[in-house]
Amino acid sequence: NFNIYNSLLSEFGVLGFEYGYAMSSPRALVLWEAQFGDFVNGAQVIIDQFISSAESKWQRMNGLVMLLPHGYEGQGPEHSSCRPERFLQLSAEYNMIVANPTTPANFFHLLRRQVAWPFRKPCIVFSPKSLLRHPLVVSPVKEFTSGTFAEVLDDPSASPKDIRRVVLCSGKIYYDLIEAQQKKKVKDTAIIRIEQLHPFPEKQLKSILKRYKDTKLVWAQEEPANMGCLSYILRMMSKYEL
């Protein structure tokens, strides 16, 4: 089918172009967005051979940002998953940033950090389309004008002395979890968001988990067990009982 071939070729070519543009303009914030995250399949060679490995192979930094809409929102295959597990399997030795921000301000600071750093790293952002219109996904102006990117976000409503279970998650499932929590009036569970998956924010997460003692730790994701972040989280948190 010519249309399918043309679509795959365009993703490959456009991502390659943007990667080259970011290479030649290191001070610019260069973003490439897939219409749906799944469409990144056609550009996998660029990701494998350049984005994830160029700094190690050729000592060439690149600050390209890839925006990949990701989320199980009822639109079926090719419109649901940007394959987070693939990017996390390629993540090692600080070769790139992999993030799944849940607030506008944190997303802003993530992008600002890309150009504020004295070095460059590719940045992969999982950004579900439904959060663009979600009534809870808002940030006050002061959070844009001050502060920095938060790799981990604690539960703002949790009282540590009442918590018996801590749920770790990343991305849009957080809003599904708090909706269920409020509906069922659950008071003994804290929901913590891991906004940056790689490099894994071990120190930041450990600092937050210290607040919750004698609790059961759970990882939640909307993807099947063999997809998403689960295997990566189990590897990064092998010291914890999940």
Cβ–Cβ under 8 Å, residues 188 and 160: no
- pLDDT digit string, tens, across residues 137-150: 999 999 999 999 99
Alpha carbon distances (Å) from 66 to 16, 130, 171: 12, 18, 16
- pLDDT digit string, tens, across residues 175-231: 999 999 999 999 999 999 999 999 999 999 999 999 998 899 999 999 999 999 999
- pLDDT digit string, tens, across residues 76-88: 777 788 899 999 9
CB-count exposure of residue 169 (10 Å: 0-12, 13-18, 19+)? buried
Cβ–Cβ under 8 Å, residues 230 and 221: yes
Quick one: how far is CA 240 from the chain centroid? 22
User: What type of residue sits at position 56?
Assistant: S
pLDDT for 11: 63
Cβ–Cβ under 8 Å, residues 158 and 190: yes
User: What type of residue sits at position 82?
Assistant: C
Is 9 a residue whose pLDDT tops 50? no
Token look-up 């802003």 returns 108
pLDDT for 77: 77
Is 92 a residue whose pLDDT tops 90? yes
CA 69, CA 126: separation in Å to the nearest integer?
6
- pLDDT digit string, tens, across residues 21-68: 999 999 999 999 887 777 788 888 899 999 999 999 999 999 999 999
| Pairwise pLDDT comparison (56 vs 10), residue with the higher score | 56
pLDDT for 8: 47
pLDDT for 130: 85
SS (H, E, C) the chain: CHHHHHHHHHHHHHHHHHHHHHHHCCCCCCEEECCCHHHHHHHHHHHHHHHCCHHHHHCCCCCCEEEECCCCCCCCCCCCCCCHHHHHHCCCCCCCEEECCCCHHHHHHHHHHHHHCCCCCCEEEECCHHHHCCCCCCCCHHHHHCCCCCCEECCCCCCHHHCCEEEEECCCHHHHHHHHHHHHCCCCEEEEEECEEECCCHHHHHHHHCCCCCCEEEECCCCCCCCCCHHHHHHHCCCCCC
Phi, psi dihedral angles at 99 (to 5 degrees)? -135, 155
Closest CA to 14 of 53, 43, 49: 43
Is 3 a residue whose pLDDT tops 50? no
Other C-beta atoms lying within 10 Å of the C-beta of residue 16: 15
- pLDDT digit string, tens, across residues 110-132: 999 999 999 999 999 998 888 88
Give the pLDDT mean for 149-156: 96
Give the pLDDT mean for 130-136: 88
